[in-house]
Structure 1
Amino acid sequence: MSVSEAGPFDRRSLRERTIAYLREQIVSGALRPGEHVREVPLSDTLGVSRGTLREALRPLEADGLLVNDGKGRMRVRKLSAQEIGDVFEVRTALEILAASKLAGSTRRAEFADALERKVEQLREPGLGFGERIDTDLGFHALMCELTGNGTLSRSWLQLNSQIRMMIIAAGQERAIGRMRYEAHLPIIEAIRTGDVDAVRETLTEHMADFTRRYVGDALAEETEPADTP
């Protein structure tokens, strides 16, 4: 069904539905990092004009999901090794702050229980790739949300799309192995015990490990020889 054929209870404008559809295509990996957005076939598939499609591309570019290739065409953003390192540097700082606040709270046991429930789904072997990403990132988003600091939570959410895209770019086989239930338990336990020093050490190690992995993926791809035409 095209976005122009949405049901009568969908009150969003055609432009908003097109934006939502394209965002889902990007973050789900249907449109791969580095892939060009082909306006004519896409507008035909969606049943919208090229003008509406172009209007929908602008906010996605503003969000950093799309970039202009310099030739008047949009492509899905592909994060460089440097950009991935930058994202993890900011993410690490935000999550250490969040987890430290939770560990220092009198409600830390309650928070730890909520985080454990959130990540429990990662134990299911048949969990789909998209659901696994949602669960993994949902854990970290909840950690920030539970602090009650809206600025902290919103700052983390601004990184969400970029984090999701680097996971997708890694490929399902590698990425699934990195989103494990067991990997989150030391963070939960450090919060539960109220040991702020352990929280900082655990999260620093957790994020440093994943920084190496995802930066390594990007560096390997950047150094691959270009295909000979």
Structure 2
Amino acid sequence: MTQPVSKRLTRDSTFSQRTESVLRDMILDGELKPGERLNEVILAASLGISRGPLREAIQRLASEGLLTVISHRGAFVRTFERAEVAELYELRAALELHAVRLLCQRATDDDLAGLAAMLDETENRLSGSADPAYPPELDFHLQLVRLVGNPALLAAALEAQRQISLARTMSAHRPTRARAAIVEHTDILDALRARDQELATRLMAEHLHHSMESAISVLGLPFDEEPANERNQP
């Protein structure tokens, strides 16, 4: 396995930071597959750096949950169990439902108009492709959290997003899910515009449940395990 890298790092870069960015993109874009072992020799040669900065980047990405480092075996792109995906979506739901409740109280009309413009651009991109993926730079969920104006909440949401990005990225490449997501996002926005907190939170909860099911299905994980929130219940 050659693990080619499209961008060779320049000598004026901060090697460890640039290496971290390149590796993160390779993981989240699917260039490095779940379960794949990172070949340090080939990656370092392709990037034009020594293995020191590469190993520093690997350790940071492992701390983010994108890589798993196994002693005497090396670093592997993280794989997921169904329970792990469910738990991560539970965390995401807790953060984003709180954001929705706050936005029903705090969001200005201009804030919501900006969200509507983002959804219009997303819909235009999806309609222009026969096999569309949801544009990651037009992330409706992170924009919702940003509009709350709480840096701590945003940092937690970003961390949760990083940990489920492998599953979500693969899920988003299913045209039916990407198209369904834009419809669900629009319904959530309509509820926010109406300042209907109960409806907005219910729609977001349903949307995240659909997203989780899609991610689990794409990953080929079994559905016969108990959901995380039902474990240890009487």
The answer to whether the 8 Å contact 1:102/1:111 transfers is no
Between stretches 153-162 and 185-194, larger displacement belongs to: 153-162
Tell me how far 1:110 sits from its aligned partner.
2.5
2: CA distance between counterparts of 1:149 and 1:171?
27
Alignment correspondent of 1:47: 48
Report the TM-score, using the length of structure 2 for normalisation: 0.81
Alignment correspondent of 2:137: 134
- Gaps spanning 5+ residues in structure 2: where? 1-5, 225-234
Say whether 1:117 aligns with 2:117: yes
2: CA distance between counterparts of 1:81 and 1:21?
28
What is the SS of the residue equivalent to 1:30? coil
Say whether 1:5 aligns with 2:10: yes
Tell me how far 1:171 sits from its aligned partner.
7.3
The answer to whether the 8 Å contact 1:132/1:179 transfers is no
Alignment correspondent of 1:179: 178
Structural RMSD (CA): 2.4
Tell me how far 1:4 sits from its aligned partner.
3.9
Between stretches 72-81 and 205-214, larger displacement belongs to: 205-214
Equivalent residue runs for 1:144-159 within 5 Å: 144-159=145-160
2: CA distance between counterparts of 1:130 and 1:216?
16
The answer to whether the 8 Å contact 1:144/1:152 transfers is yes
The answer to whether the 8 Å contact 1:99/1:143 transfers is yes
Count of residue pairs the alignment pairs up: 214
Tell me how far 1:131 sits from its aligned partner.
6.4
Report the TM-score, using the length of structure 1 for normalisation: 0.83
1: CA distance between counterparts of 2:170 and 2:72?
24
- Could you report, residue by residue, the CA deviation over 1:147-206 in whole angstroms, capped at 9, with x for unpaired residues? 11111111101112223211234473x2x4322322211110110000111112111111
Say whether 1:21 aligns with 2:26: no
Alignment correspondent of 1:227: none
The answer to whether the 8 Å contact 2:177/2:214 transfers is no
Q: Measured at CA, do residues 202 and 44 of structure 1 come closer, stay the same or move farther in structure 2, by a change above 3 Å?
A: same
2: CA distance between counterparts of 1:106 and 1:36?
45
